[in-house]
Amino acid sequence: MSKAPLICGTAAGPLFVLSLLIQGATRDGYDPLRHPVSSLALGHHGWVQTATFLVAGVLTAVLAVGLRRTLPRGPGRLWGPLFVGVWALGLVGAGLFTTDPVSGYPPGSPDRLPAYSSTHAALHDGVSLLAFIAIMGACIVFTLRFVAGNQWRWAFYSATTAAVVLVALGLSNAAFAQSQNLVAFGGLFQRIMIVVAWLWLTLLAWKTYRSDERSRPGARVG
């Protein structure tokens, strides 16, 4: 029963990233280097990004359950999956609550609205920030778990992922706030953050799946 949730976890990230890459390359007036991923939910084909948020969120929530059931006892066995679950809820929330226009997309919209246009837009930013805090929290928790297990490469990878997400989050937020030196690259900073976070979570799901396979009675070693 633990296999399916972990497989769902390996699918969520590639699905999300593939969707945003295709949409970003085909949407009229959209500049992937400048505009946030959430802006893809605006306009005529916005339902595609909304569906991407929701499907990836549900798959990741299933992964969180799978991690909780599969991880052996040790540091982070509760908090690691819990943070992954909050990341999943943030994705669902980002899909349910649509963002405001920013940085001139959709075409004809201002670079930045003077205030939120709706409660939905404010909630979108709130749940999105919570999601990124949660994925950093998951990285830190698993860093401690890997250190305790003497898995130093994974510990370093997890800690580095948290650091990259933190820096990219700060840069992208400044860019979307129309910082003159950064605004042209807000979408790039955000995409670095998203891809790095999803890659870590995808590899973690796969690592956990393989470890669970090897620990089963009768499993072949090597």
Sign of the C-alpha dihedral computed for residues 100, 106, 110 and 112 taken in this order: positive
At residue 211 the predicted structure's pLDDT band, cuts being 50, 70 and 90, is confident
Q: Is 70 exceeded by the pLDDT of residue 24?
A: yes
For every residue of 43-83, DSSP letters joined together read STTHHHHHHHHHHHHHHHHHHHHHHHHHSPSSTTTTHHHHH
Tell me the per-residue pLDDT of 42-51, one tens digit each, with 9 for 90 and over.
988 999 999 9
Phi, psi of 30 (to 5 degrees): -100, 130
The answer to whether residue 75 is domain-embedded is yes
> Is residue 132 situated within a structural domain?
yes
> Would you say the C-alpha torsion 170, 84, 123, 49 has a positive or negative sign?
positive
Segment 146-158 mean pLDDT = 97
Residue 9 lies in a domain: yes
The answer on pLDDT for 102 being more than 50 is yes
Number of alpha helices (DSSP H) and beta strands (DSSP E) in the chain: 6, 0
Summarize pLDDT for 103-146 with one digit per residue, the tens: 999 999 999 999 999 999 999 999 999 999 999 999 999 999 99
Better pLDDT: 214 or 90 = 90
Domain count, the chain: 1
Token pair belonging to 164? 């990259």
CA gap 190, 125 in Å, rounded? 14
The reported pLDDT for the residue numbered 210 is 87
Task: Specify if 220 maps to a domain.
Answer: no
Nearest to 186 by CA among 168, 172, 197, 167: 172
Residue 206 is part of which domain span?
A: 3-215
* Domain assignment present for 72: yes
Q: Is residue 154 part of a domain?
A: yes
Asked, for residue 83, whether it belongs to a domain, the answer is yes
- pLDDT band at 221; cut points 50, 70, 90: very low
Asked if residue 217 has pLDDT above 80, the reply is no
Give residue 59's pLDDT. Answer: 97
User: Which pLDDT value is given to residue 4?
Assistant: 87
* Contact yes or no for 111/178 (Cβ under 8 A): yes
Q: What is the pLDDT of residue 128?
A: 97
- Of the candidate ranges 65-79, 130-144, 160-174, the one whose mean pLDDT is the lowest: 65-79
In a domain, 148, yes or no: yes
Residue 178 has pLDDT above 60, yes or no: yes
Question: Using an 8 Å Cβ cutoff, are 193 and 5 in contact?
Answer: no
Share of the chain above pLDDT 70, in %: 94
- 13 and 219 in contact (C-beta within 8 Å)? no
How far apart (Å, rounded) are the C-alpha atoms in residues 184 and 162? 24
Q: 36-48 burial by CB neighbour count: b if 16+ within 10 A, else e?
A: bbbbbbbbeebee
